[in-house]
Chains A and B, each alone.
Chain A
Amino acid sequence: MATFDLNDDSVVVVIGSGAGGGTVGAELAIKGVKTVILEAGKRHETEDFINDEWGSFGQLAWTDKRTTSGDWRVARDFSGLPAWIVKSVGGSTTHWAGASLRFQEHEWKAQTNYGDVEGASLLDWPIDAEEMAPWYAKAEDRMGVTRTNGIPGLPGNNNFKVMKAGADKLGYKECHTGRMAINSEPRDDRSACLQIGFCFQGCKSAAKWSTLVAEIPKGEETGNLEVRPESHVLKIEHDDSGKVTGVVYADKDGNQQLQKARVVCVAGNSIESPRLLLNSASSMFPDGLANSSGQVGRNYMRHMTGSVYAIFDKPVHMYRGTTMAGIIQDESRHDPSRGFVGGYELETLSLGLPFMAAFLNPGAWGREFTSAMDAFDRMAGMWIVGEDMPQADNRVTLHGSEKDQYGLPVPNVHFDDHPNDIAMRNHAYKQGRALYDAVGAVETYPTPPYPSTHNLGTNRMSAKATDGVVNKWGQTHDVKNLFISDGSQFTTGAAENPTLTIVSLALRQADHIASQMSKGDL
């Protein structure tokens, strides 16, 4: 593993080591570019992960102070925890479930295909399915996605079997055990899934792809990549010409360091990335770095989500085995006759008893709640994930008075549901309940969204510099050597879980940066 000097201004500095940052950093190193990844969290390896929901949350989750506002229920139930994401090497790919789906063709052009939706700030991506196809293919191979590259699907667990039985009864045609970045057989020096059932807690068999186990080690092997954990970036610096020159970070002892850089890639996930740009305001960039459009922090998306849990009169033990290896795709089409634009996926989901208590119906108490908990072993569950409408005022801003441990303004996350989100959620609840009723459910529960696991859109990609923050390469419109490499680049969210797209964009961006560097353009 390489180490680079703080004054080495030939390195690319990547902020964050998750899906976006870990991939772009490793891929640059593989292409021969000297790269430093600064990661706020510690480095926990596979053997350090804990099969315990709250214990793992304490180990991995990002719990720095954040505030919330808006009409979403998360603001009421989890006012200090708008998002459930990670601070650790590997970022949220340590927590993620592995569902890896490509966008559908029409979703790249939401404005064109959905038309004007009142209150929504829809925009077409400046790229399309054809442009992305080879990058998706490369990402699927790298991540070992099942049902691609000849990799068999995962076996269905009990929770999936209940879903499949219901899907058959409702006449759904596209139900299978998913396209999962989880090894169904040994691959890439990692073992096959042991059906441990703690995918959200960091996979202890390393069967699940993450930047921690798959990308970063490959980057480090080249001798071109240094990953520096416990390095929390506070500010990006620039020179008089408006190019970025380095970043200031707090090291593990809280001392501030300045790492010089030739290029900076921001990949702190969609709350920290815009916050960092806003906190990097200067006399030259008074509204925040790369924010001439005023779009930094805006159009925050979190996917339309919800869950349906159902109890039966016989045991299910849904928590055994892969958490999310089950999907129904029939509702993911764009079909406005259902009363909303865009579509949604239904995916298996289970929580253990501790998280079920916290998330089934936050704040609820009494016998209705406890009778559901009493039936925990007879419960099946699914997660709803669909396209939500970007809205200009759903946004990450700097709090006026609250400060974090480094004295910087904390982010406030404001989110109001769009009527389209609500209509889609109600449709999905109805379908989910009908599915379980068809298998003989005794009771079904429409469970509200959890703190956001998919955070998107706050530095969006746009053809025109006035509409968004980055161009089609993720390069900021305003600052040539500043890139955004995470999910905050998303112009719109599509119905699919975002990580495969984040990784594909990062591979494509690394290719672009490396070639621009070799041409001397960066």
Chain B
Amino acid sequence: MATKLKSYNGTGGTPEPLFLTTTEIEREESMRVLDKRPKVSRRGFLGGSGVTLVAMSILPSGVIMGADSAWAMTAKALKPESFATLVQMSRDIYPHDRLNDSYYAKAVAAFDSQAEESEDSKKMLEDGVAALDAAAMKAHGVTYGQVGWEAERVALLQAIESDGFFQSIRGGLVTGIYNNPDVWPLFGYEGASADQGGYIERGFDDIDWLEA
């Protein structure tokens, strides 16, 4: 059986959870478990995730394109570069190797909508990204999204973690990421159950590995 998740030290390497869940599914016989594997191919992400902004590119039209073209977004109010930086920042705040960038981009789209509605929000976000890029330039000579290691980007975030900008991004992501029903199956959460008759016939008590 696979190892503890916390053994993944966060400075690159192979995202273990994928393989972990695969083994689980094959091993279990009677307990009803979920296939937490993402449905899209992850090849493109595995190479790039946690390394650089190469996981995204910005087309001349301003469209932000995910690696292997799995997703594309157009920023409504924010600069495309700022949008892309926020996607990277979001992943660094709540890094889940089994989530591809499209889920983070969806959460950032909500910030983009706020920027569209309010000049104050827009300024707060653009200023925040600019300051983050400036800090990255000072420390590493490149913008935030181009800083190579997650641990180095996390250090930049730790320096601003009590700021309003960071807190509003982090706070927004709590719902932006985890309240998106599309991610629930990837965490093994099944969402609404009343419409399926509850769990009375669907494994509320099917745990099978406890010693008697």
From residue 397 to 445 of chain A, which have CB atoms closer than 8 A to chain B?
A: 439, 442-443
Chain A residues lying within 8 Å of B174, measured Cβ to Cβ, are 357-358
Q: A196-B193, A365-B93 are in contact. Are A54 and B175 (CB under 8 A)?
A: yes
Q: How far is the CA of A157 from the CA of B32 in the complex (A)?
A: 13
State whether the Cβ of B206 lies closer than 8 Å to any Cβ in chain A.
yes
Render B2-35 as a binary contact track against A, CB cut-off 8 A, 1 for contact.
1011101110000001000000100010011110
The total of Cβ contacts below 8 Å across the A-B interface reads: 154
The residue on B at minimum CB distance from A371 is B5
Contact call B197/A52, Cβ cutoff below 8 A: no
Contact call B178/A353, Cβ cutoff below 8 A: yes
Render A42-70 as a binary contact track against B, CB cut-off 8 A, 1 for contact.
00000000011110000000000000000
The residue on A at minimum CB distance from B6 is A371
Interface-side segment among A113-121, A158-166, A257-265: A158-166
Q: Name which of B8, B28, B203 has the most chain A CB atoms within 10 A of its CB.
A: B203
**A21 vs chain B, min Cβ distance (A):** 27
Q: How far is the CA of A135 from the CA of B128 in the complex (A)?
A: 60
**B197 vs chain A, min Cβ distance (A):** 6
Q: A165-B210, A377-B189 are in contact. Are A357 and B177 (CB under 8 A)?
A: yes
From residue 113 to 166 of chain A, which have CB atoms closer than 8 A to chain B?
A: 155-158, 161-162, 165
From residue 165 to 193 of chain B, which have CB atoms closer than 8 A to chain A?
A: 170, 174-175, 177-179, 183-184, 187-193
Interface-side segment among A12-20, A302-310, A314-322, A476-484: A314-322
Which listed residue, A205, A319, A369, touches B189 by the CB 8 Å rule?
A319
State whether the Cβ of B207 lies closer than 8 Å to any Cβ in chain A.
yes
Q: A51-B193, A321-B205 are in contact. Are A367 and B95 (CB under 8 A)?
A: yes
Contact call A157/B31, Cβ cutoff below 8 A: no
Contact call B207/A162, Cβ cutoff below 8 A: yes
Q: How far is the CA of A358 from the CA of B24 in the complex (A)?
A: 27
Contact call A197/B198, Cβ cutoff below 8 A: yes
Contact call A194/B200, Cβ cutoff below 8 A: yes
Contact call B188/A155, Cβ cutoff below 8 A: no
Contact call B95/A197, Cβ cutoff below 8 A: no
Render A373-399 as a binary contact track against B, CB cut-off 8 A, 1 for contact.
111111000000000000000000000
The residue on A at minimum CB distance from B15 is A374
Chain A residues lying within 8 Å of B175, measured Cβ to Cβ, are 54, 354, 357-358
Chain B residues lying within 8 Å of A378, measured Cβ to Cβ, are 188
State whether the Cβ of B98 lies closer than 8 Å to any Cβ in chain A.
yes
Q: How far is the CA of A161 from the CA of B211 in the complex (A)?
A: 10
State whether the Cβ of B94 lies closer than 8 Å to any Cβ in chain A.
yes
Contact call A366/B154, Cβ cutoff below 8 A: yes
Number of A residues with CB within 8 Å of any CB on chain B: 52
Number of B residues with CB within 8 Å of any CB on chain A: 53
The residue on A at minimum CB distance from B195 is A51
Q: A194-B200, A321-B199, A354-B175 are in contact. Are A374 and B94 (CB under 8 A)?
A: no
Chain A residues lying within 8 Å of B10, measured Cβ to Cβ, are 366-367
State whether the Cβ of B1 lies closer than 8 Å to any Cβ in chain A.
yes
Contact call B187/A353, Cβ cutoff below 8 A: yes
Render B77-100 as a binary contact track against A, CB cut-off 8 A, 1 for contact.
000000000000000011110100
Render A504-516 as a binary contact track against B, CB cut-off 8 A, 1 for contact.
0000000000000
Which listed residue, B95, B179, B210, touches A354 by the CB 8 Å rule?
B179
Contact call A196/B189, Cβ cutoff below 8 A: no
Chain A residues lying within 8 Å of B203, measured Cβ to Cβ, are 158, 317, 320
Q: A158-B204, A321-B199, A374-B187 are in contact. Are A366 and B192 (CB under 8 A)?
A: no
Contact call A313/B1, Cβ cutoff below 8 A: yes
Contact call A195/B189, Cβ cutoff below 8 A: no
State whether the Cβ of A95 lies closer than 8 Å to any Cβ in chain B.
no
Which listed residue, B5, B6, B184, touches A353 by the CB 8 Å rule?
B184
**A158 vs chain B, min Cβ distance (A):** 4
Which listed residue, A51, A52, A366, A443, touches B93 by the CB 8 Å rule?
A366
Chain B residues lying within 8 Å of A204, measured Cβ to Cβ, are 194
Chain B residues lying within 8 Å of A161, measured Cβ to Cβ, are 205, 207, 210
Q: A197-B193, A314-B24 are in contact. Are A376 and B199 (CB under 8 A)?
A: no
Render A195-227 as a binary contact track against B, CB cut-off 8 A, 1 for contact.
111100000110000000000000000000000
State whether the Cβ of A3 lies closer than 8 Å to any Cβ in chain B.
no
**B131 vs chain A, min Cβ distance (A):** 18
Contact call B170/A197, Cβ cutoff below 8 A: no
Q: Could you list 14 further interchain pairs (A-B, Cβ under 8 angstroms) beyond the known A51-B192, A51-B194, A354-B175? A: A54-B175, A165-B211, A194-B200, A196-B194, A196-B198, A197-B193, A197-B198, A313-B2, A315-B24, A320-B199, A357-B178, A365-B161, A373-B94, A373-B178
Interface residues of A (CB under 8 A from B): 51-54, 155-158, 161-162, 165, 193-198, 204-205, 311, 313-317, 319-322, 352-354, 356-358, 363, 365-371, 373-378, 439, 442-443
A/B interface sample: 21 pairs, CB < 8 A:
A156-B205, A194-B198, A197-B204, A198-B193, A204-B194, A205-B194, A313-B2, A314-B24, A316-B207, A317-B188, A317-B207, A319-B189, A320-B204, A321-B205, A352-B191, A357-B178, A367-B9, A367-B95, A442-B4, A442-B5, A443-B4
